Amino acid sequence: MSAPKTSRTSQTSDPGSGPAPAAAGFRGVFAHGGTALPVYAFLARLPAALCPIGTLLLINDRDGIGDAGTVAAALWLGQALGGPVIGRLADRRGHRPVLLAACAANGLVLALLVCAVLGGLPLAARIGLAVAAGLTVPQVGPLARARWARLAGPDRALLGSALSFDTTLDEASFMVGPALAGILAVTVHPASALVLAAVLILVFGTLFALHPSAPGPLAGQGARAGVRLWSPGLALLFALAVLQGAAWSGANTGVNALAKSLGQGGTAGLVWAAMAVTSSAAGVVTVARPGSADLVTRLRWTIGLQAVLTLPLLAVTGPWGAAAAVAGIGLAVAPHLIALFGLVERTGPELRMGEAMTVVGSGLIVGQALAAAASGPLAAAYGHRAAFAVSCAAVTASAALALTAGGRLRRDGLQAETA
C-alpha cells in the first residue's frame, strides 16, 4: 500500500503535468488498488442500495405503505447519524477493526429485522431495529473514497481517476440494487433482498475490511485531536449533498406514485434503475476523459445541467416517459458526485478524511429522508407531479448555491493544498 499523504503542496500540479498521464485512468486505478479491491468495494456497498427498497417491499407486502415508509425512514435516520461516527472511529482506530465490527453487527441486525417483520413484532420494535441497522451500516463507499485518496498519494491525476471510478461503482450499485430487490421480491420472497444484503455485508464487507489497502490508525493522534473537521467549504458541500439527496428522493417518490397510480407498482424499481445506467456510463466516460476543467467549474456545470434535465419530469405521464426523463438526469449525476467528493478531498482535513467523506455521504441520506417526508404526502394529495416538483426545487436550489458560493470552495481548496 502506498504511504499516506504527508502534504498537499505537491498536489497543485496541473493534471497533465509530470508522470500523471501514465498513471491516470483505469490502468492507474487498477495498478494501485488491484482488481480485488473494486470487486469487494462494489459488493460490500450493494446492501446500501438493497436495504431501503428491500425494507419498503417487505413491510409494504405485510403491513402497508404507511408502516413501510416509517421503518424505511428510521433506517435512513440511523444511517445518517451513524455514518460520521463510523468514519471518525475508522480514522482513529484504523479501517480494519471498525469495519469488521460494523459488518458483523449490521448483518446480525438485518437478520433480526427480517425476523421481527415476519414474526409480526410491534411497529416500535421494527423501528428500533431499523435505526440499529442504519447505525451499523459499514460506510463502505465513503471509506473506499478515503482509501483511494491515501493510495493515490500526491498524484492528483490518479486521485481524480480513482474517485471518479469509485463514484461510478456507487452509481452501478444503485442501478443493480433496486432492480435486484424488485426481482427477488417477485420471484423469491419479499424478505430476500434484506437477507441477501446481510450475506453480502458479512462476506464482502469482511473481505473489504481485510484487504491490504485498509489503513491503520493514523500517526500523530495528538495532532489529529486539534484538527477541526468543519470549514465553510465542507459545510457548503454538505448542504449540496443534502439538496442532491432531496432531488433523488423527490424523483423516486414521484416514480413510485406514478407507477402505483397506473397499477404498475412493480415497474418503479426498473424505471429508477434507468438513471443509474446513464449515470454509470457518464462516470466511466469521466474516468477515461476527465477533461481539464477544475472541480469547482465541473461542480457548477454538472448541477446546472442536472437542473435543466430534471424539468422534463413535470411532463411525465407514463413509465416510459419517466424512464426517459430519469435516464436523462443520470447523465449529470455521476459527474456531479465525482466533483462533489473530489472537493471533499480538497477541503476536508487529511487526518479526518474518512469522517469528512462519511459526513457528506450522510448529507445525501438526510436529504433523501427529508424529501421523502415532504414528497410522499404531496404525491398522495396532488399526484406524482407534486413529488417531481420537490425534486426540481431541490436541484434548482443546489445549482443556485453552487453558482453563488463556489468561490468559497475554490479558496478552501487552495488553502488546503498549500497547508
- Residue 28 covered by a domain: no
Q: Is the same domain home to 299 and 167?
A: no
- Residue 205 covered by a domain: yes
Q: Is the same domain home to 196 and 281?
A: no
- Range from 91-105, 206-220, 333-347, 376-390 carrying the lowest mean pLDDT: 206-220
CA angle 209, 85, 419 (to 5 degrees): 90
- Round to whole Å and give the CA distance between 191 and 186: 10
- Residue 405 covered by a domain: yes
- Domain boundary residue among 195, 219, 243? 219
CA torsion angle 335 341 344 349 (round to 10):
-150
- Range from 52-61, 259-268, 373-382, 392-401 carrying the lowest mean pLDDT: 259-268
Q: Is the same domain home to 308 and 175?
A: no
- Residue 413 covered by a domain: yes
- Round to whole Å and give the CA distance between 117 and 114: 5
Residue 191 CA, chain-centre distance (Å), reads 23
Q: Say which residue the cell 434535465 belongs to.
A: 309
Q: Is the same domain home to 201 and 241?
A: no
- Residue 25 covered by a domain: no
Overall pTM > 0.85: no
DSSP-derived secondary structure letter, 4: P
pLDDT over 50 (residue 20): no
pLDDT over 80 (residue 178): no
pLDDT over 70 (residue 218): no
What pLDDT is attached to residue 410?
66
Q: 302 or 154: which carries more pLDDT confidence?
A: 302
How would you label 84-100 residue by residue, b for 16+ Cβ within 10 Å and e otherwise? bbbbbbbbbebbbebbb
Q: Say which residue the cell 455521504 belongs to.
A: 361
Q: Is the same domain home to 124 and 205?
A: yes
- Residue 148 covered by a domain: yes
- Count of structural domains, the chain: 2
Grid coordinates belonging to 76: 435512513
Q: Is the same domain home to 398 and 270?
A: yes
Q: Is the same domain home to 182 and 263?
A: no
pLDDT over 60 (residue 196): yes
Q: In which domain, by residue range, is 328 found? A: 229-419
Q: Is the same domain home to 206 and 278?
A: no
- Round to whole Å and give the CA distance between 116 and 123: 9
Non-local CB neighbours of 297 within 8 Å, separated by 6+ positions: none
- Round to whole Å and give the CA distance between 260 and 258: 5
Q: Is the same domain home to 259 and 405?
A: yes
What pLDDT is attached to residue 3?
38
Grid coordinates belonging to 97: 477493526
Confidence of residue 18 (pLDDT cuts 50, 70, 90): very low
Query: In the chain, count of helices (H) and strands (E)?
Result: 16, 0
Q: Say which residue the cell 468543519 belongs to.
A: 230
Q: Is the same domain home to 242 and 123?
A: no
- Residue 17 covered by a domain: no
pLDDT in tens, 25-36: 677 777 777 888
- Residue 5 covered by a domain: no
DSSP-derived secondary structure letter, 189: -
- Range from 256-265, 270-279, 362-371, 402-411 carrying the lowest mean pLDDT: 402-411
- Domain boundary residue among 151, 186, 219? 219
Domain CATH code at residue 44: 1.20.1250.20
Q: Is the same domain home to 308 and 246?
A: yes
pLDDT in tens, 266-324: 677 778 778 878 888 888 888 777 767 788 899 999 999 999 999 999 999 998 999 99
Q: Is the same domain home to 305 and 359?
A: yes
Mean pLDDT on 19-23: 42
DSSP-derived secondary structure letter, 5: P
- Domain boundary residue among 219, 247, 279? 219
Q: 225 or 4: which carries more pLDDT confidence?
A: 225
